[in-house]
A and B are shown apart, each in its own frame.
Chain A
Protein backbone atom coordinates (compact mmCIF):
# COMPACT_ATOMS: atom_id res chain seq x y z
CA UNK A 1 0.00 0.00 0.00
CA UNK A 2 1.39 3.38 -0.98
CA UNK A 3 0.44 6.16 1.34
CA UNK A 4 2.68 9.18 1.15
CA UNK A 5 0.74 11.43 3.43
CA UNK A 6 1.79 14.97 4.08
CA UNK A 7 0.76 15.37 7.68
CA UNK A 8 2.97 17.94 9.31
CA UNK A 9 4.24 16.91 12.69
CA UNK A 10 5.77 20.12 13.93
CA UNK A 11 8.97 20.60 11.96
CA UNK A 12 10.06 17.04 11.77
CA UNK A 13 10.63 14.36 9.19
CA UNK A 14 9.47 10.79 9.69
CA UNK A 15 10.05 7.73 7.51
CA UNK A 16 7.74 4.82 8.25
CA UNK A 17 8.66 1.39 6.83
CA UNK A 18 9.86 2.80 3.53
CA UNK A 19 10.49 0.25 0.80
CA UNK A 20 11.53 1.05 -2.75
CA UNK A 21 11.66 -1.36 -5.67
CA UNK A 22 12.39 0.21 -9.05
CA UNK A 23 10.45 -0.91 -12.13
CA UNK A 24 13.49 -2.89 -13.32
CA UNK A 25 13.23 -5.02 -10.17
CA UNK A 26 16.12 -3.46 -8.26
CA UNK A 27 15.30 -3.29 -4.59
CA UNK A 28 16.86 -0.02 -3.43
CA UNK A 29 15.46 0.36 0.08
CA UNK A 30 13.90 -2.03 2.56
CA UNK A 31 11.98 -1.24 5.71
CA UNK A 32 13.51 2.14 6.52
CA UNK A 33 12.04 3.79 9.58
CA UNK A 34 13.48 6.72 11.48
CA UNK A 35 12.63 10.27 12.41
CA UNK A 36 14.53 13.53 12.42
CA UNK A 37 13.24 15.96 15.01
CA UNK A 38 13.74 19.67 15.37
CA UNK A 39 17.27 20.28 16.67
CA UNK A 40 18.51 16.97 15.33
CA UNK A 41 21.09 16.58 12.58
CA UNK A 42 21.04 13.03 11.29
CA UNK A 43 23.58 11.76 8.79
CA UNK A 44 23.23 8.61 6.73
CA UNK A 45 26.52 7.02 5.65
CA UNK A 46 26.67 4.05 3.35
CA UNK A 47 28.41 2.52 0.35
CA UNK A 48 27.87 4.00 -3.12
CA UNK A 49 24.63 2.99 -4.73
CA UNK A 50 23.02 1.89 -1.47
CA UNK A 51 20.00 4.08 -2.02
CA UNK A 52 20.90 7.01 0.21
CA UNK A 53 19.95 9.58 -2.42
CA UNK A 54 16.80 7.63 -3.22
CA UNK A 55 15.75 8.13 0.38
CA UNK A 56 15.98 11.92 -0.01
CA UNK A 57 14.12 11.82 -3.31
CA UNK A 58 11.34 9.96 -1.53
CA UNK A 59 11.34 12.46 1.33
CA UNK A 60 11.02 15.37 -1.13
CA UNK A 61 8.33 13.70 -3.22
CA UNK A 62 10.44 13.37 -6.38
CA UNK A 63 9.94 9.61 -6.05
CA UNK A 64 7.00 7.64 -4.68
CA UNK A 65 8.03 4.76 -2.43
CA UNK A 66 6.63 1.34 -3.28
CA UNK A 67 5.71 0.85 0.34
CA UNK A 68 5.62 2.84 3.56
CA UNK A 69 4.99 6.53 4.13
CA UNK A 70 6.78 9.80 4.76
CA UNK A 71 5.58 12.68 6.82
CA UNK A 72 7.11 16.10 6.19
CA UNK A 73 6.10 19.64 5.18
CA UNK A 74 7.10 19.66 1.51
CA UNK A 75 6.26 23.29 0.88
CA UNK A 76 9.12 24.45 3.04
CA UNK A 77 11.62 21.69 2.48
CA UNK A 78 15.27 22.67 2.13
CA UNK A 79 16.99 20.35 -0.34
CA UNK A 80 20.47 20.66 -1.82
CA UNK A 81 21.71 18.20 -4.43
CA UNK A 82 25.14 16.77 -5.16
CA UNK A 83 25.52 19.40 -7.87
CA UNK A 84 24.76 23.01 -7.08
CA UNK A 85 22.21 22.98 -9.97
CA UNK A 86 22.42 26.76 -10.37
CA UNK A 87 20.79 28.27 -13.44
CA UNK A 88 23.74 29.52 -15.51
CA UNK A 89 21.85 32.53 -16.91
CA UNK A 90 20.93 33.90 -13.50
CA UNK A 91 23.16 35.87 -11.18
CA UNK A 92 23.74 34.65 -7.64
CA UNK A 93 20.91 36.91 -6.47
CA UNK A 94 18.47 35.73 -9.14
CA UNK A 95 19.36 32.10 -8.44
CA UNK A 96 18.69 32.54 -4.74
CA UNK A 97 15.37 34.23 -5.58
CA UNK A 98 14.21 31.33 -7.77
CA UNK A 99 12.03 29.48 -5.26
CA UNK A 100 10.25 32.62 -4.02
CA UNK A 101 9.72 33.53 -7.66
CA UNK A 102 8.14 30.13 -8.37
CA UNK A 103 5.90 30.65 -5.36
CA UNK A 104 4.91 34.15 -6.56
CA UNK A 105 6.23 35.87 -3.46
CA UNK A 106 6.02 39.70 -3.86
CA UNK A 107 9.22 41.22 -5.26
CA UNK A 108 10.20 43.25 -2.19
CA UNK A 109 9.80 40.29 0.12
CA UNK A 110 11.67 38.09 -2.33
CA UNK A 111 14.61 40.48 -2.49
CA UNK A 112 14.74 40.73 1.27
CA UNK A 113 14.70 36.96 1.81
CA UNK A 114 17.37 36.45 -0.86
CA UNK A 115 19.68 39.08 0.61
CA UNK A 116 19.31 37.60 4.07
CA UNK A 117 20.18 34.12 2.80
CA UNK A 118 23.12 35.43 0.74
CA UNK A 119 24.53 37.20 3.79
CA UNK A 120 24.03 34.09 5.87
CA UNK A 121 26.15 31.87 3.60
CA UNK A 122 28.84 34.53 3.17
CA UNK A 123 28.24 35.41 -0.46
CA UNK A 124 27.79 39.12 0.20
CA UNK A 125 29.52 41.04 -2.58
CA UNK A 126 28.94 38.28 -5.13
CA UNK A 127 25.24 38.98 -5.70
CA UNK A 128 25.73 40.05 -9.31
CA UNK A 129 28.16 37.32 -10.29
CA UNK A 130 27.17 34.58 -12.70
CA UNK A 131 27.76 30.94 -11.70
CA UNK A 132 30.54 30.53 -14.27
CA UNK A 133 32.74 32.87 -12.22
CA UNK A 134 32.16 31.11 -8.89
CA UNK A 135 34.32 28.39 -7.30
CA UNK A 136 32.84 25.00 -6.47
CA UNK A 137 32.45 25.92 -2.81
CA UNK A 138 30.75 29.22 -3.64
CA UNK A 139 28.32 27.50 -5.98
CA UNK A 140 27.37 25.14 -3.17
CA UNK A 141 26.88 28.10 -0.80
CA UNK A 142 24.63 29.71 -3.36
CA UNK A 143 22.65 26.49 -3.66
CA UNK A 144 22.25 26.34 0.14
CA UNK A 145 21.18 30.00 0.23
CA UNK A 146 18.51 29.24 -2.36
CA UNK A 147 16.97 26.68 0.00
CA UNK A 148 17.38 28.93 3.03
CA UNK A 149 14.93 31.43 1.50
CA UNK A 150 12.22 28.86 2.24
CA UNK A 151 12.99 29.13 5.98
CA UNK A 152 13.02 25.34 5.99
CA UNK A 153 12.07 23.48 9.18
CA UNK A 154 13.60 20.39 7.54
CA UNK A 155 16.76 20.50 5.43
CA UNK A 156 17.94 17.63 3.20
CA UNK A 157 21.58 17.51 2.07
CA UNK A 158 22.48 14.99 -0.63
CA UNK A 159 26.29 14.68 -0.53
CA UNK A 160 26.62 18.39 -1.16
CA UNK A 161 30.36 18.68 -0.56
CA UNK A 162 31.54 15.60 -2.44
CA UNK A 163 33.05 17.59 -5.29
CA UNK A 164 35.04 20.21 -3.36
CA UNK A 165 38.58 19.92 -1.99
CA UNK A 166 39.30 18.86 1.58
CA UNK A 167 39.99 22.33 3.03
CA UNK A 168 36.91 23.88 1.42
CA UNK A 169 34.92 20.93 2.64
CA UNK A 170 35.98 21.55 6.25
CA UNK A 171 35.03 25.22 5.90
CA UNK A 172 31.66 24.29 4.47
CA UNK A 173 31.13 21.76 7.28
CA UNK A 174 31.69 24.48 9.87
CA UNK A 175 29.36 26.83 8.01
CA UNK A 176 26.69 24.15 7.74
CA UNK A 177 26.99 23.60 11.46
CA UNK A 178 26.54 27.32 12.12
CA UNK A 179 23.46 27.37 9.91
CA UNK A 180 22.08 24.37 11.78
CA UNK A 181 22.61 26.05 15.15
CA UNK A 182 21.31 29.41 14.01
CA UNK A 183 18.31 28.29 11.95
CA UNK A 184 17.40 25.31 14.13
CA UNK A 185 16.16 23.11 11.29
CA UNK A 186 15.96 19.34 11.42
CA UNK A 187 18.84 18.20 9.19
CA UNK A 188 19.16 15.01 7.16
CA UNK A 189 22.58 14.70 5.56
CA UNK A 190 23.94 12.09 3.15
CA UNK A 191 27.67 11.49 2.76
CA UNK A 192 30.46 8.99 2.13
CA UNK A 193 32.74 10.72 4.59
CA UNK A 194 32.67 9.39 8.15
CA UNK A 195 34.61 12.38 9.46
CA UNK A 196 32.08 14.77 7.91
CA UNK A 197 29.22 12.70 9.37
CA UNK A 198 30.60 12.66 12.90
CA UNK A 199 31.62 16.31 12.83
CA UNK A 200 28.18 17.56 11.82
CA UNK A 201 25.66 15.20 13.33
CA UNK A 202 23.76 14.50 16.48
CA UNK A 203 23.19 11.00 15.15
CA UNK A 204 24.83 8.84 12.46
CA UNK A 205 22.96 6.03 10.70
CA UNK A 206 24.84 3.35 8.76
CA UNK A 207 23.11 1.98 5.70
CA UNK A 208 23.93 -1.35 4.06
CA UNK A 209 24.42 -2.04 0.36
CA UNK A 210 21.39 -2.97 -1.75
CA UNK A 211 18.82 -3.30 -0.53
CA UNK A 212 19.55 -0.31 1.69
CA UNK A 213 18.71 -0.95 5.30
CA UNK A 214 19.70 0.86 8.48
CA UNK A 215 22.18 -1.52 10.12
CA UNK A 216 23.60 0.64 12.91
CA UNK A 217 22.87 3.85 14.76
CA UNK A 218 25.36 6.02 16.67
CA UNK A 219 24.62 8.99 18.89
CA UNK A 220 27.30 11.65 18.63
CA UNK A 221 27.92 13.08 22.10
CA UNK A 222 30.06 16.17 21.32
CA UNK A 223 28.71 19.59 22.31
CA UNK A 224 27.99 22.33 19.77
CA UNK A 225 29.53 24.50 18.48
CA UNK A 226 32.18 22.04 17.39
CA UNK A 227 35.63 23.33 16.52
CA UNK A 228 37.50 22.00 13.46
CA UNK A 229 40.16 20.55 15.78
CA UNK A 230 37.57 18.19 17.21
CA UNK A 231 38.55 15.97 14.31
CA UNK A 232 41.85 15.24 16.08
CA UNK A 233 40.22 14.36 19.41
CA UNK A 234 40.70 10.68 20.48
CA UNK A 235 36.99 10.33 21.24
CA UNK A 236 36.22 11.55 17.71
CA UNK A 237 38.63 9.01 16.25
CA UNK A 238 37.16 6.21 18.37
CA UNK A 239 33.61 6.91 17.25
CA UNK A 240 34.73 7.25 13.62
CA UNK A 241 36.48 3.90 13.98
CA UNK A 242 33.33 2.20 15.24
CA UNK A 243 31.28 3.63 12.37
CA UNK A 244 33.96 2.59 9.92
CA UNK A 245 33.82 -1.01 11.16
CA UNK A 246 30.03 -1.08 10.70
CA UNK A 247 30.33 0.50 7.27
CA UNK A 248 32.89 -2.10 6.16
CA UNK A 249 30.59 -4.83 7.41
CA UNK A 250 27.75 -3.33 5.39
CA UNK A 251 29.76 -3.51 2.16
CA UNK A 252 29.84 -7.30 2.10
Chain B
Protein backbone atom coordinates (compact mmCIF):
# COMPACT_ATOMS: atom_id res chain seq x y z
CA UNK B 1 0.00 0.00 0.00
CA UNK B 2 2.63 2.52 -1.02
CA UNK B 3 1.29 5.86 -2.15
CA UNK B 4 2.42 6.50 -5.70
CA UNK B 5 3.70 9.69 -7.41
CA UNK B 6 6.74 10.54 -5.31
CA UNK B 7 9.05 12.60 -7.51
CA UNK B 8 11.27 14.01 -4.74
CA UNK B 9 11.38 12.79 -1.18
CA UNK B 10 11.23 16.33 0.27
CA UNK B 11 8.15 17.37 -1.70
CA UNK B 12 6.31 14.14 -1.22
CA UNK B 13 6.83 14.20 2.53
CA UNK B 14 5.22 17.57 3.13
CA UNK B 15 2.63 16.77 0.50
CA UNK B 16 1.92 13.50 2.28
CA UNK B 17 1.51 15.24 5.63
CA UNK B 18 -0.77 17.85 4.07
CA UNK B 19 -2.89 15.18 2.42
CA UNK B 20 -3.21 13.32 5.69
CA UNK B 21 -4.03 16.34 7.88
CA UNK B 22 -6.01 18.75 5.68
CA UNK B 23 -9.20 16.71 5.21
CA UNK B 24 -9.83 16.10 8.93
CA UNK B 25 -9.02 19.74 9.76
CA UNK B 26 -11.41 20.94 7.07
CA UNK B 27 -14.14 18.64 8.30
CA UNK B 28 -13.48 19.75 11.88
CA UNK B 29 -13.88 23.42 10.93
CA UNK B 30 -17.09 22.61 9.08
CA UNK B 31 -18.46 20.84 12.16
CA UNK B 32 -17.55 23.81 14.38
CA UNK B 33 -19.40 26.04 11.88
CA UNK B 34 -22.42 23.77 12.05
CA UNK B 35 -22.23 23.85 15.85
CA UNK B 36 -22.33 27.69 15.88
CA UNK B 37 -25.18 27.66 13.37
CA UNK B 38 -27.24 25.45 15.62
CA UNK B 39 -26.35 27.39 18.78
CA UNK B 40 -27.12 30.83 17.38
CA UNK B 41 -29.52 30.33 14.45
CA UNK B 42 -31.53 27.24 15.25
CA UNK B 43 -31.86 27.52 19.02
CA UNK B 44 -33.59 30.50 20.61
CA UNK B 45 -31.95 32.26 23.53
CA UNK B 46 -34.08 30.37 26.08
CA UNK B 47 -33.22 26.93 24.69
CA UNK B 48 -29.55 27.61 24.01
CA UNK B 49 -28.46 25.52 27.01
CA UNK B 50 -29.14 22.49 24.77
CA UNK B 51 -26.06 23.30 22.74
CA UNK B 52 -23.85 26.06 24.06
CA UNK B 53 -21.55 27.75 21.55
CA UNK B 54 -18.13 26.18 21.57
CA UNK B 55 -16.19 29.16 23.00
CA UNK B 56 -18.45 29.19 26.04
CA UNK B 57 -17.89 25.47 26.53
CA UNK B 58 -14.16 26.07 26.53
CA UNK B 59 -14.43 29.14 28.74
CA UNK B 60 -16.66 27.57 31.38
CA UNK B 61 -15.60 23.96 31.10
CA UNK B 62 -11.84 24.24 30.69
CA UNK B 63 -10.67 27.79 31.47
CA UNK B 64 -12.53 28.23 34.72
CA UNK B 65 -10.04 26.86 37.22
CA UNK B 66 -12.59 25.34 39.65
CA UNK B 67 -14.42 23.55 36.89
CA UNK B 68 -11.17 22.47 35.31
CA UNK B 69 -9.88 20.98 38.53
CA UNK B 70 -13.14 19.13 39.01
CA UNK B 71 -13.11 17.80 35.43
CA UNK B 72 -9.49 16.70 35.60
CA UNK B 73 -9.93 14.95 38.94
CA UNK B 74 -12.94 13.11 37.52
CA UNK B 75 -10.96 12.26 34.40
CA UNK B 76 -8.15 10.87 36.51
CA UNK B 77 -10.56 8.79 38.57
CA UNK B 78 -12.15 7.31 35.42
CA UNK B 79 -8.75 6.72 33.83
CA UNK B 80 -7.65 4.71 36.88
CA UNK B 81 -10.82 2.58 36.73
CA UNK B 82 -10.40 2.04 32.98
CA UNK B 83 -6.75 1.03 33.32
CA UNK B 84 -7.37 -1.33 36.25
CA UNK B 85 -10.36 -2.85 34.44
CA UNK B 86 -8.39 -3.23 31.23
CA UNK B 87 -5.46 -4.83 33.06
CA UNK B 88 -7.79 -7.37 34.69
CA UNK B 89 -9.57 -8.03 31.39
CA UNK B 90 -6.21 -8.58 29.69
CA UNK B 91 -5.04 -11.03 32.38
CA UNK B 92 -8.29 -13.01 32.35
CA UNK B 93 -8.58 -12.82 28.55
CA UNK B 94 -5.03 -14.01 27.85
CA UNK B 95 -5.26 -16.82 30.36
CA UNK B 96 -8.61 -18.08 29.08
CA UNK B 97 -7.62 -17.77 25.42
CA UNK B 98 -4.35 -19.63 26.08
CA UNK B 99 -6.18 -22.42 27.90
CA UNK B 100 -8.76 -22.60 25.12
CA UNK B 101 -6.03 -22.82 22.48
CA UNK B 102 -4.53 -25.85 24.18
CA UNK B 103 -7.55 -28.11 24.03
CA UNK B 104 -10.56 -28.02 21.73
CA UNK B 105 -12.71 -29.35 24.60
CA UNK B 106 -11.84 -26.40 26.83
CA UNK B 107 -12.57 -24.01 23.97
CA UNK B 108 -15.93 -25.62 23.31
CA UNK B 109 -16.76 -25.58 27.02
CA UNK B 110 -15.91 -21.92 27.63
CA UNK B 111 -16.93 -20.23 24.40
CA UNK B 112 -20.74 -20.30 24.78
CA UNK B 113 -20.43 -18.65 28.19
CA UNK B 114 -18.18 -15.94 26.80
CA UNK B 115 -20.79 -15.19 24.15
CA UNK B 116 -23.48 -15.12 26.82
CA UNK B 117 -21.44 -12.77 28.98
CA UNK B 118 -20.97 -10.53 25.98
CA UNK B 119 -24.72 -10.55 25.28
CA UNK B 120 -25.79 -9.53 28.80
CA UNK B 121 -26.99 -5.93 28.76
CA UNK B 122 -25.05 -4.16 31.50
CA UNK B 123 -28.18 -2.35 32.61
CA UNK B 124 -29.80 -5.68 33.45
CA UNK B 125 -27.07 -6.67 35.87
CA UNK B 126 -26.54 -3.28 37.49
CA UNK B 127 -28.75 -4.22 40.49
CA UNK B 128 -26.93 -7.54 40.89
CA UNK B 129 -23.54 -5.91 40.73
CA UNK B 130 -24.51 -3.40 43.41
CA UNK B 131 -25.82 -6.27 45.60
CA UNK B 132 -22.58 -8.17 45.30
CA UNK B 133 -19.92 -5.54 45.03
CA UNK B 134 -21.50 -2.41 46.50
CA UNK B 135 -21.74 0.94 44.76
CA UNK B 136 -18.10 1.96 44.83
CA UNK B 137 -14.95 1.59 42.77
CA UNK B 138 -15.08 -2.22 42.83
CA UNK B 139 -18.39 -2.27 40.96
CA UNK B 140 -17.08 0.26 38.44
CA UNK B 141 -14.14 -2.02 37.74
CA UNK B 142 -16.44 -5.05 37.38
CA UNK B 143 -18.52 -3.25 34.73
CA UNK B 144 -15.34 -2.20 32.97
CA UNK B 145 -14.02 -5.79 32.87
CA UNK B 146 -17.36 -7.18 31.66
CA UNK B 147 -17.47 -4.75 28.78
CA UNK B 148 -13.85 -5.03 27.64
CA UNK B 149 -13.17 -8.75 28.11
CA UNK B 150 -14.78 -10.30 25.04
CA UNK B 151 -12.70 -8.73 22.23
CA UNK B 152 -9.49 -9.70 24.03
CA UNK B 153 -10.49 -13.35 24.32
CA UNK B 154 -11.83 -13.64 20.78
CA UNK B 155 -8.89 -11.89 19.14
CA UNK B 156 -6.24 -13.64 21.22
CA UNK B 157 -7.80 -17.02 20.52
CA UNK B 158 -8.03 -16.24 16.80
CA UNK B 159 -4.40 -15.12 16.87
CA UNK B 160 -3.21 -18.26 18.67
CA UNK B 161 -4.87 -20.35 15.96
CA UNK B 162 -3.42 -18.23 13.16
CA UNK B 163 0.02 -19.88 12.84
CA UNK B 164 0.06 -21.80 9.57
CA UNK B 165 0.03 -25.60 9.50
CA UNK B 166 3.46 -25.70 7.82
CA UNK B 167 5.00 -23.81 10.73
CA UNK B 168 3.35 -26.22 13.17
CA UNK B 169 4.81 -29.11 11.16
CA UNK B 170 8.30 -27.65 11.62
CA UNK B 171 7.85 -27.68 15.39
CA UNK B 172 6.39 -31.19 15.27
CA UNK B 173 9.32 -32.47 13.22
CA UNK B 174 11.73 -31.15 15.81
CA UNK B 175 9.81 -32.56 18.76
CA UNK B 176 9.07 -29.15 20.26
CA UNK B 177 7.31 -29.27 23.63
CA UNK B 178 3.90 -27.69 24.18
CA UNK B 179 5.48 -24.76 25.99
CA UNK B 180 8.11 -24.20 23.28
CA UNK B 181 5.42 -24.27 20.61
CA UNK B 182 3.37 -21.71 22.55
CA UNK B 183 6.32 -19.46 23.26
CA UNK B 184 8.11 -19.55 19.93
CA UNK B 185 5.23 -20.06 17.52
CA UNK B 186 1.71 -19.42 18.78
CA UNK B 187 2.28 -16.32 20.93
CA UNK B 188 4.32 -14.39 18.37
CA UNK B 189 1.92 -15.40 15.60
CA UNK B 190 -0.96 -14.15 17.74
CA UNK B 191 0.47 -10.68 18.38
CA UNK B 192 -1.13 -8.80 15.45
CA UNK B 193 -4.58 -10.12 16.40
CA UNK B 194 -3.88 -9.51 20.10
CA UNK B 195 -3.16 -5.85 19.40
CA UNK B 196 -6.28 -5.53 17.28
CA UNK B 197 -8.24 -6.86 20.28
CA UNK B 198 -6.38 -4.59 22.71
CA UNK B 199 -7.23 -1.49 20.75
CA UNK B 200 -10.92 -2.36 20.69
CA UNK B 201 -10.91 -3.31 24.37
CA UNK B 202 -8.99 -0.21 25.39
CA UNK B 203 -11.73 1.94 23.90
CA UNK B 204 -14.38 -0.22 25.55
CA UNK B 205 -12.65 -0.01 28.92
CA UNK B 206 -13.09 3.77 28.86
CA UNK B 207 -16.75 3.33 28.04
CA UNK B 208 -16.98 0.73 30.79
CA UNK B 209 -15.40 3.06 33.33
CA UNK B 210 -17.79 5.88 32.48
CA UNK B 211 -20.87 3.67 32.38
CA UNK B 212 -19.81 2.06 35.67
CA UNK B 213 -19.26 5.49 37.18
CA UNK B 214 -22.68 6.58 35.99
CA UNK B 215 -24.35 3.87 38.06
CA UNK B 216 -21.96 3.39 40.95
CA UNK B 217 -20.91 6.76 42.24
CA UNK B 218 -19.65 6.09 45.73
CA UNK B 219 -16.19 7.50 46.42
CA UNK B 220 -14.29 9.72 43.97
CA UNK B 221 -16.54 11.15 41.30
CA UNK B 222 -15.55 10.06 37.83
CA UNK B 223 -16.64 11.42 34.48
CA UNK B 224 -19.88 9.46 34.65
CA UNK B 225 -20.90 11.19 37.89
CA UNK B 226 -20.02 14.58 36.43
CA UNK B 227 -22.12 13.88 33.34
CA UNK B 228 -25.01 12.94 35.56
CA UNK B 229 -24.67 16.00 37.80
CA UNK B 230 -24.25 18.48 34.94
CA UNK B 231 -27.23 17.03 33.09
CA UNK B 232 -29.51 17.24 36.08
CA UNK B 233 -28.46 20.86 36.72
CA UNK B 234 -28.80 21.78 33.02
CA UNK B 235 -25.16 22.91 32.99
CA UNK B 236 -24.72 22.70 29.21
CA UNK B 237 -21.15 23.99 29.09
CA UNK B 238 -19.82 21.65 31.75
CA UNK B 239 -21.77 18.73 30.30
CA UNK B 240 -20.22 19.21 26.86
CA UNK B 241 -16.79 19.68 28.40
CA UNK B 242 -17.14 16.32 30.15
CA UNK B 243 -18.28 14.66 26.95
CA UNK B 244 -15.26 16.07 25.12
CA UNK B 245 -12.88 14.92 27.85
CA UNK B 246 -14.26 11.39 27.90
CA UNK B 247 -13.93 11.08 24.12
CA UNK B 248 -10.39 12.40 24.36
CA UNK B 249 -9.56 9.74 26.92
CA UNK B 250 -10.88 7.06 24.55
CA UNK B 251 -8.86 8.44 21.64
CA UNK B 252 -5.69 8.67 23.73
CA UNK B 253 -6.00 5.08 24.97
CA UNK B 254 -6.74 3.82 21.44
CA UNK B 255 -3.79 5.77 20.05
CA UNK B 256 -1.50 4.57 22.82
CA UNK B 257 -2.10 0.92 21.96
CA UNK B 258 -1.65 1.72 18.28
CA UNK B 259 1.74 3.18 19.18
CA UNK B 260 2.70 0.19 21.30
CA UNK B 261 1.64 -2.09 18.46
CA UNK B 262 3.82 -0.24 16.00
CA UNK B 263 6.79 -0.42 18.37
CA UNK B 264 6.26 -4.08 19.16
CA UNK B 265 5.46 -5.65 15.80
CA UNK B 266 5.76 -2.88 13.19
CA UNK B 267 9.12 -4.17 12.03
CA UNK B 268 7.76 -7.45 10.76
CA UNK B 269 4.04 -6.91 10.41
CA UNK B 270 2.27 -4.63 7.95
CA UNK B 271 -0.66 -3.16 9.84
CA UNK B 272 -3.81 -2.99 7.79
CA UNK B 273 -5.71 -0.95 10.34
CA UNK B 274 -6.16 2.83 10.06
CA UNK B 275 -3.66 4.78 12.15
CA UNK B 276 -5.11 6.89 14.94
**Chain A residues near B (Cβ < 8 Å):** 60-62, 74, 77, 79, 81, 83, 85, 87-90, 98-99, 101-103, 130-132
Contacts and interface: CB of A to CB of B under 8 A. Distances in A.
Contacts of A132: 268-270
A90 B189 CA distance: 11
Nearest to B166: A85
Interface in B150-180: 164, 166-167, 169-176, 180
Given A99-B174, A102-B176, A83 B166 contact: yes
B14 to A, nearest CB: 26
A103 B184 CA distance: 13
B191 A79 contact: no
A90 B269 CA distance: 11
B185 interface: yes
B188 A62 contact: no
Interface residues of B, number: 22
26 contacts: A60-B173, A61-B173, A62-B172, A62-B173, A81-B166, A83-B164, A83-B166, A85-B166, A85-B169, A87-B167, A87-B189, A88-B189, A89-B189, A89-B191, A89-B269, A90-B268, A98-B170, A99-B170, A101-B184, A102-B176, A102-B184, A130-B267, A130-B268, A131-B268, A132-B269, A132-B270
Interface in B237-276: 265, 267-270
A158 to B, nearest CB: 10
Given A83-B166, A102-B176, A88 B171 contact: no
Given A85-B167, A87-B188, A88-B268, A103 B174 contact: yes
Nearest to A57: B169
A89 B166 contact: no
A87 B185 contact: yes
A89 B185 CA distance: 10
A37 to B, nearest CB: 23
Among B166, B180, B270, the one with the most A-chain Cβ atoms within 10 Å of its Cβ is B166
A89 B268 CA distance: 5
A147 to B, nearest CB: 10
Interface string B195-221: 000000000000000000000000000
A89 B164 contact: no
Contacts of B269: 88-89, 132
A90 to B, nearest CB: 8
A131 B269 CA distance: 10
Contacts of B188: 87, 89
Contacts of A101: 184
A87 B169 CA distance: 12
B169 to A, nearest CB: 6
Nearest to A81: B166
A120 to B, nearest CB: 20
Contacts of B172: 62
B5 to A, nearest CB: 23
A135 B210 CA distance: 49
B164 A85 contact: yes
Max count, chain A CB within 10 A of own CB: residue among B188, B268, B269 = B268
Given A102-B176, A102-B180, A85 B268 contact: no
Contacts of B185: 87
A63 to B, nearest CB: 10
B261 to A, nearest CB: 13
B49 to A, nearest CB: 55
Contacts of A61: 173
Nearest to B173: A60
Contacts of B166: 81, 83, 85
